[in-house]
Structure formats: C-alpha cells, structure tokens
Amino acid sequence: MRLDADPAGATLLAGELSFPQIEVGLASLPRNSAIVVGCLYTPMLALRLLSPRVGITFGATIEIAAWIDTICTFLVVSAFNIVLSYFVISAYLDQLCEFLFRARGVNIGIFRGAFRRRIGLAVLSSRSPPWPCSLAISRATR
C-alpha cells in the first residue's frame, strides 16, 4: 500500500500532520464514498432505464420494460452498488488502519452513528485475531 500518493497520508507519515487532524475524515471515508457513488450512479442508471420511454435509443431496438420492473431494477441495483462501495472502502480502511497502526502506532477512536451501528460494524469487520481498528471500536462503545 502506498500512502505517498495521498498528500494527507504523506504529510502524516512525514510528521507534518497529526493523526487527530485526519481522523474524522478517515473514519467517515466509507460513508462519504458510498454517498458519492450514489450521487453519481443513480442518475446514470435512471437515464439508462428511462431513456427508451422518452424515445432516446440511439437507433437500437430496446424493449420498454414494465414500470414495476423499471422501479425495482432501479432500487435494487442502486442499493447494491451503494452498499458494495461502502464495504469495498471499509475493506480498504481495514488495511489502512493496520498500516497506520504499524507505521505510526495510531488508531481510529471516532466512529459516528448509533451504538447498534457501531456493534454491527465491529461484527462485520471482525476477524481473528482482531485488527487494530476493531479494538478502537470496542473501546469506543464501552
């Protein structure tokens, strides 16, 4: 994993930034990434599903699906991609937390959300032996 491509990560490792200065942004990385994916993907999917209904086919023969199929496809595919991006970024955050713990001895202590969500996040991300960020979650939820 290379942090030197990331200016905040590089300045953190160089000692120019302290970990608390980037901790809030780091802890909210999966949620913010899922929001960006949702904002970019849902309009594109809506355009793709609704374009045959308004006559935009670019010369292709596209069968117009029933409204229920269009709505269900939109909801299921959008939700799937948003949730998938959240968990992919969470897996990246797992590796990043492990790297930061080994390189700098720091760990995330801030997790936003309700107690139930924190426990759910800890259960979903736990593995044997526990990684450094899951220890911070367990300490923060006590």
pTM of the model: 0.63
pLDDT in tens, 5-21: 555 556 666 667 777 77
Residue 91: pLDDT band (50, 70, 90) is confident
Whole-number pLDDT of residue 137? 46
Burial of 19 (0-12, 13-18, 19+ CB in 10 A): middle
Q: Which residues contact 124 (CB under 8 A, 6 or more apart)?
A: 87, 90
**pLDDT tens for each residue of 13-70:** 666 777 777 777 788 888 889 999 999 999 999 998 999 888 888 878 878 889 999 9
10-19, 97-106, 133-142: least confident range:
133-142
Inter-CA distances, 93 with 27, 122, 137, Å: 8, 13, 13
Quick one: tokens of 52? 């045959």
| pLDDT at res. 78 | 93
Per-residue model confidence (pLDDT) at position 140: 47
Residue 122 CB neighbours (<10 A): 19
In terms of average pLDDT, the best of 5-19, 67-81, 98-112 is: 67-81
Ranges of beta strands (E only) in the chain are none
Which among 71, 92, 73 is positioned nearest to 81, based on CA atoms?
73
Pairwise pLDDT comparison (139 vs 12), residue with the higher score: 12
